[in-house]
Amino acid sequence: MIDPLFIACAAIAAILVGISKSGFAASLGAVAVPLLSLVMPTPQAAGMILPVLLVLDAAALIIYRREVDWRIFWIIIPGAMAGTVIGWALSAVVNEAAVGLVLGALSVLFALDAWLPLRKKLERIPASRPWGWFWGTVAGFTSFISHTGGPPYQVYTLPLKLQPNIYAGTAAVVFAVINVSKLVPYYTLGQLSVSNLELALALLPVAGLSMLAGVWMVRRIPAKVFYQIAYVMIFLLGLKLIYSGVTDLFLSGASA
């Protein structure tokens, strides 16, 4: 546990998770598990991050408790719970690299669609319940597999143009419920070991301070700038997921 590479990866993962939990650059948290997978098995990385997420979820609920769009929450949650069950059922056979590759491609296309005149945009349209169920299911599934539920959530919520604090508060409640729902499955799969809990405890101060910094930014950055940053981050994350997916699926297969 004194390996410099492990310490560096764990610290960066904690910072990214903390910032994402503030609602600022929410897609950053999706990088944490792939990053930790460089120094530990992916299932154990996901198990180690979950307790950190739960503590930060509790803090986010306190901070944003009066800043939630409950209509969007109730649209997303049924699909998210279904996605969690699907992830649990398929955990033994799902290919994480393939999931990451598809998620990366969707994230890049989503950002390009926002930036380029590919189609006529409908501004300020009401939240669609069927789309909310669909993207909620994708968010629940990818969150269960590798805590990468942020991008699907953003695909649904960013076009709604919520105020940054309402966007962050709604995300806090949605992912608090999703993460709590993963406790029993993760325990049954052996991902919540004592060593993982000890590592999570060590990462909490770094993650907590990063979250407070993110909350400070959410409350002070203009909405237009906030959404510009969000689209850039989801685009960069998409490129990273595509690269990792291609590397894991094709280059490792070729070398074998």
pLDDT score, position 251: 65
Structure tokens at 104: 């990366």
**Cβ-based neighbour number of residue 6 at 10 Å:** 15
Question: Residue 161 — left, alpha, or beta (φ > 0 → left; ψ -120 to 50 → alpha)?
Answer: left
Stated pTM of the model:
0.80
Look at residue 223 in the predicted model and tell me its pLDDT.
78
Give the distance between the most distant pair of CA atoms in the chain.
Answer: 54
Q: What are the boundaries of each domain within the chain?
A: 4-255
pLDDT at residue 255, rounded to an integer: 52
Q: What is the pLDDT of residue 176?
A: 94
**Confidence (pLDDT) at 95:** 78
Please report, in tens digits, the pLDDT of each residue of the chain (256 residues total). 567 888 888 888 899 888 888 877 776 777 787 778 778 887 788 888 899 999 999 998 998 888 999 999 999 999 999 999 999 998 888 877 788 788 888 888 888 877 876 555 555 566 788 999 999 999 999 889 888 888 889 889 888 888 888 998 999 999 999 999 999 999 888 888 888 888 889 899 999 999 999 889 888 888 788 888 888 888 888 888 888 878 877 765 555 5
Q: What pLDDT shows up at residue 118?
A: 57
Residue spans of alpha helices (H) in 64-191: 70-89, 96-115, 129-146, 150-157, 164-181, 183-188
pLDDT at 233: 82
